[in-house]
Amino acid sequence: MVSFVRSFPCVAFSGSRVAGSSAVASCRALLPALSGLSVPVAVGCASGVDSAVRSAFPHCSVFSVSSFLVGGRVARASFARRSSALVSWCVSGGGLLVAFPLGSCPSGVRPSVSFSGRGSGTWGSVALAVSGCSVLVVAPAGASASWFGSLAASFRCLGTAPCGGSLWVAAPRAVSMPCLSAGGQLTLF
């Protein structure tokens, strides 16, 4: 799986802002395996997953919400604009968005050309990205297709993720996917 992530020309990260959450723990478990990543990396300016990625990749591009002011101030729309810019960067580079959502996809979130996460920035980013670039979602243990809500048709499970979760991928165009041997389970480690 590490070779899958490394096969993209750039990688963007999105995830929960809740420090100490299972999403952040999964991110921290994945990052050491990607430490030698030699492609451009981008992430947001938030705490939680964003902070973990910035620590692992100190020279990454950081999309700061303060760069997307609305009416001269940070507004709710600033966060959506920041996330949209991060996804656009990933799409334009033919990259991979790696997402660590804290909960299931909110009702009404579907693939879209405009940002709409229904309260979840991570799922809004995923919904925006699925039609333009490959997306890898690290889900908790026991997550099934229903956890993805209206985005379920875009994803397929690839196997085990860090911290006992699962890896799900959506690829809008042909990308080289790792193969599972009969009865085998794909893992990161």
Least confident of 105-109, 120-124, 148-152, 171-175: 171-175
**pLDDT (0 to 100) of residue 159:** 87
Domain-located, residue 185: no
**pLDDT (0 to 100) of residue 114:** 85
Domain-located, residue 177: no
HSE-CB for 114 with a 13 A CA cutoff: 1
Q: At what angle do helices 121-129 and 76-92 cross, to 10 degrees?
A: 30
pTM of the model: 0.89
Average pLDDT over residues 91-102: 96
Average pLDDT over residues 109-116: 89
SS3 assignment, position 96: strand
CATH of the domain at 36: 3.40.50
Number of domains in the chain: 1
Q: Which domain holds residue 44?
A: 2-170
Domain-located, residue 132: yes
**pLDDT (0 to 100) of residue 162:** 66
pLDDT per position as a tens digit, 133-182: 999 999 988 899 999 999 999 999 988 886 778 999 998 754 444 433 33
Domain-located, residue 181: no
**pLDDT (0 to 100) of residue 179:** 36
**pLDDT (0 to 100) of residue 50:** 97
Average pLDDT over residues 11-24: 94
Domain-located, residue 179: no
For residue 157, give the nearest of 166, 149, 148 by alpha carbon.
166
